[in-house]
Structure formats: structure tokens, C-alpha cells
Amino acid sequence: MKHVRLTSALSAFRHVLAACALSLGLLSIAAPATSAATPAGWLRLAHLSPNTPAVDVYLYAFGNSHARVVLHHVSYGTVSPYLPAPAGVYTVAMRPAGAASSSAPVLSTAVHVHAADAYTVAGMGPAKGLRLQVLKDRLTSPPGHAMVRVIQASMREHLVTIRAGTDLIGKNLAFATATSYQAVSHGRLTVRAAGETEHALSTLTLDSGTIHTLVVLDEPGHLRIDNLTDAAGSKFQPDGGGPATGLGGTAPPRASSMTWLAFIAAGLLLAMTGLIRFRRGRRTEFPMR
């Protein structure tokens, strides 16, 4: 977990780099779309600060002044889907909703994206003291289990305890903190988040082979639990390698009995010819006078 405060130095450096790139005519090398063929990771962007107004969230490839992605008017409790991003360093910046893209960001942080890894970059904490946290997300689960992590984003309840079924998955979690992932028994579970005065109940289906982040949020008068699917696989992995999806009707045929019979016939014919020629040859050599 990394906390990076707004650094105007970083921002300035980015602009200097961008200016250099412009003058060299090297701009916009970053490909807008990625495929599984290029080593890529994933980023999702979130606003989890209860008393911070809506923001525009910008994602830049480090050193590129053109944003890869801009999410407009992101309000408290919003988490974007995963955005694929080639491995590398990125800058996430937040500006007040509607502010010019050229204006100085309120907040920014650098994120190092590794191939095949996923990250949640969330604005967390109170408006005063807001910071961007980079959380590394888990993309695997042990067979037969669901994995769960909690982000505590309720400011009214400073300490929240959360249970999934009978499993305790977070005790007295402080505002603006996140737990690590833990395995829970899969299936349909009642999840209960309780603060000192407010609580939330939610019935969730956590399938085996899936990984979730539960976000505890402030709602007017009560708490809310948001269930994010970080990754999902098949609930059950079949055994025994690849499936048997072919019976050979289009495969090169094995030589059939008919082929072999034809071989025998041809062979016999050839042998007969040879025999006849051989005998005729003898007759010619010893002619009868």
C-alpha cells in the first residue's frame, strides 16, 4: 500500500518531459487499445472520500501530457471497471469536476503497473487530508474458495467490523484502510458490517474461483456494502487436460483393409508379369531346333 501526496514537483517534471517529447515529435506513441498479446496490467480508479465533491480522474502514461483516459464527474462510492494498461509507469490525477484539463490537479500519484497485475487507485480519507492510495488487487483464488478484501470508506463510523457468514473478515477497521484478502467459504452469504451506531446487511453470492473487494460506504442514515468483483474464474475446473472434441472424421485416414487388399492384388499381378517374362526369356535363350 503506497500513499503518495500531491507533489507539484512530479507534476512539473511530467510537463517538462511532455514538452521535450513534443519538441522531438515523439508524441502519442502509447497505443490506445491493448490485447492479451501485449503484456498488460489493469487499473481501476475510485472515489472513496465521503466529504469530497465529485472529481474528474485523469490517467496519463508517465511523461505524456495527453490523458489516456478521463473519467468525468466521479462521485463518492464510484469505482471504474478495470482499464487495461500496458506495463509501465502511469500518473493518476484528480481535478475538481469540470476543471480544465490544463489546470493543476488537486492530487496525483504515480503507479507502476506490472504485466498481468491489477491495481485499484482510490481517493481516500477526508476531504482535508485526501490522498490517492494504490492497492494491489488479487487475481487468483485457491481452488474451492472465494477471496474477499474490505475497504473501509465510512467516515461516520470510524471503526467497522465486518463478517461474511461466520467468517470475521475485518475487526474494528479504521476509516480509509483496507484489509488484505482472505479465503471465505463460497456460496450465498450474509455479509454484515457494523459500526458503533450504524450497520449494513447484504446478501451476496461469492462463488468459488472469484475474488471480491467489499467497500463499506456511508449512505444517509446507514452504511452500505458494495461488492466489487476483482476477478472471476470457473467455479469448478474440469480434470484431465483438454476435452475430447474430435472423432477424426476429417483426419487423414488410416489405410483401410481395402487399401491393403489392393496392395496384395497389385503385388500378385506384378509377380505374375515377372514370372511370365522370366519364362519367355528362358524359352528364347534355348530355342528348340
Q: Is 220 or 248 the residue whose CB approaches another protein more closely?
A: 248
Binding mask 42-61 for another protein (x = CB under 8 A): x---------------x-x-
CB of 3 to another protein, least distance (A): 24
Residue written as grid cell 446507514: 222
Pull the grid cell for residue 110.
504515480
115 forms part of the interface with another protein (CB under 8 A)? no
* Interacting residues with another protein between 191 and 210 (CB under 8 A): 205, 207, 209-210
Cβ atoms 269, 261 nearer than 8 A: no
- 232, 198, 235: which is closest to 217 by C-alpha? 198
Q: Tell me if 139 contacts another protein by CB under 8 A.
A: yes
Please select the residue that binds another protein; options are 54, 97, 159, 231, rule is CB under 8 A.
231
* Contact flag: residue 278 with another protein (CB under 8 A): yes
Question: Is 105 near another protein (CB under 8 A)?
Answer: no
CA 67 to chain centre: 21
In whole angstroms, the minimum distance from the beta carbon of 52 to another protein comes to 20
- Measured from the CB atom, the residue of 168 and 265 that comes closer to another protein is 265
**Residue from the set 3, 72, 73, 171 that interacts with another protein by CB under 8 A:** 72
**Identity of the amino acid at 99:** A
- Looking at 62-145, which runs of residues are DSSP E strands? 69-74, 78-79, 83-86, 88-96, 107-113, 118-124, 131-137
The pair phi, psi for residue 54, each rounded to 5°, is -60, 150
